[in-house]
Structure 1
Amino acid sequence: MCGRYTLLADELEILQEFGIDQPVENYHPSYNIAPGQDVLAVIHDGNEKRAGYLRWGLVPSWAEDERIGYKMINARSETAHKKPSFKQLMSRKRCLIVADSFYEWMKTEEGKQPKRIQLKDRGLFAFAGLWDKWNHDGKTLFTCTILTKEANPFMQEIHHRMPIILPKEKEDDWIKPEKMPPNEAGEFLESLHDEDFTAYDVANYVNTAKNNDEQCIKPIA
């Protein structure tokens, strides 16, 4: 799964990396992004790529209660093209969720050890995501979920699931404005190759979502 991550890059670097012309409204970096918070995402509106904030925790357009979002921070890529909650979103509401590392908790004899995981060869990257718009009783939400898959050999030692990180050359293909059959979107995700990761231990300080400063990413011996 993916339950916490970071985005520390400055706004200009993000705009350049993802080929976005318009500034990001109210951009703010974060050492400890958690479910329920607003997260930076990129979509293609049919004319251009745009970056803006979505709330992390998908609330499908048909949902009666927005609290369902807390149960839908991740979507399994192996079945998303079949599930009613995600099937149509796989076809037409795909997004990039911008990050530069993520946290995962490894089970040890002493308890769960948080680790910060990064790509070896680049800083900024994008999780494969889905988004939706929800309207209910005059309230509107734009929300998202991160797609996950079975862990690769590196991640297996830490956790059995991992977020899908899109190769740089595949980012635009994922958010192209044309509709994609849901099963084709699933096959696209299955075809992606993994990049090399690196990881190090961080303190339990990161376990508390309100803690959001440099101490979250400080390595421990």
Structure 2
Amino acid sequence: MCGRFIQATTGEVLAERFQLATPPDLAPRYNVAPSQPVGAVRIAAGGVREFVPLRWGLIPSWSPEPRTAYSTINARAETVAEKPTYRQAFRRRRCLIPADGFYEWVKLGARNQPYCITPADGQPMAFAGLWERWERDGPVIESCTILVTQANALVAPIHDRMPAILNPADEARWLDPAATDPAALRPLLAPCPPERLRLWPVSSHVNHPRHEGPALRTPLATSVS
């Protein structure tokens, strides 16, 4: 799964990396948590890309209330096309969620040790995401989920799932509104090659959503084994 991640790249870099007409105005965040707003790239009217805030935790458009009885921060890549909560968004409302890293936890005795996992080249990556628009009697909530797939060889010793990180060459295809065939889209959600990532243990300060700042991704100075 993916329960915390990093969005810290400047708007200028994001605009160039994701072909945005206007650099987004956003503060760097090193501990993005569920229910918080996250920045996402999607196709707007006219076919142009736009950068928008979406609440993390997808609310289906047909839901009677702006919440669900189960977690929707992640959707499994293997079943997303069939699940009622996600299947329409999978066909019609896909997005990119820029990220500079994510966190996973491994159990070591009585404690859980967090690890930070980032792109090996230091450039922002894109999680495969879905978005939805919920509206009832005035209030409008736009929300999202991050697709997760099987862990690659690097992440597997820590967790059996990881975000579906798109190959940059596949990002336009993922966003393409004309691409609606699940069979053609599923191959884009395979685990990314392990050489694209690096990881290291970090402080348990990241366990608390109220903690923020670049120090959260600082490698631990001592062994965690």
What's the TM-score once normalised by structure 2's chain length? 0.92
State the one-letter code of the partner of 1:44: I
More displaced, 46-55 or 193-202?
Answer: 193-202
**8 Å CA contact retained: 1:35, 1:70:** no
Equivalent position of 2:142 in the other structure: 142
Equivalent position of 1:186 in the other structure: 186
Q: How does 1:1-40 map to 2 (within 5 A)?
A: 1-24=1-24, 26-40=25-39
Query: RMSD of the TM alignment (CA)?
Result: 1.6
After superposition, the Cα gap between the structure-2 partners of 1:41 and 1:145, relative to the gap in structure 1 and judged at 3 Å, is same
Q: Deviations over 1:47-73 (max 9, x none)?
A: 211111111000010011222187100
Unpaired runs of 5+ residues, structure 1, are none
Q: Distance in 2 between matches of 1:85 and 1:30?
A: 28
Shift of 1:87: 1.1
**8 Å CA contact retained: 1:87, 1:182:** no
Q: Deviations over 1:124-169 (max 9, x none)?
A: 0110000010002321000000000111111110101110011111
Q: Counterpart of 2:129 in 1: which secondary structure?
A: strand
Shift of 1:183: 3.5
**8 Å CA contact retained: 1:36, 1:55:** yes
Equivalent position of 2:52 in the other structure: 52
Q: Distance in 2 between matches of 1:84 and 1:52?
A: 24
Q: Distance in 1 between matches of 2:101 and 2:124?
A: 8
What's the TM-score once normalised by structure 1's chain length? 0.93
**8 Å CA contact retained: 1:88, 1:182:** no
Equivalent position of 1:158 in the other structure: 158
After superposition, the Cα gap between the structure-2 partners of 1:150 and 1:67, relative to the gap in structure 1 and judged at 3 Å, is same
Q: Distance in 1 between matches of 2:170 and 2:194?
A: 13
User: What is the aligned residue count?
Assistant: 219
State the one-letter code of the partner of 2:160: H
Unpaired runs of 5+ residues, structure 2, are none
Equivalent position of 2:42 in the other structure: 43
**8 Å CA contact retained: 1:202, 1:219:** yes
After superposition, the Cα gap between the structure-2 partners of 1:119 and 1:23, relative to the gap in structure 1 and judged at 3 Å, is closer
The share of aligned pairs that are identical, in percent, is: 38
State the one-letter code of the partner of 2:28: P
The answer on 1:173 being equivalent to 2:153 is: no
Q: Counterpart of 1:154 in 2: which secondary structure?
A: coil
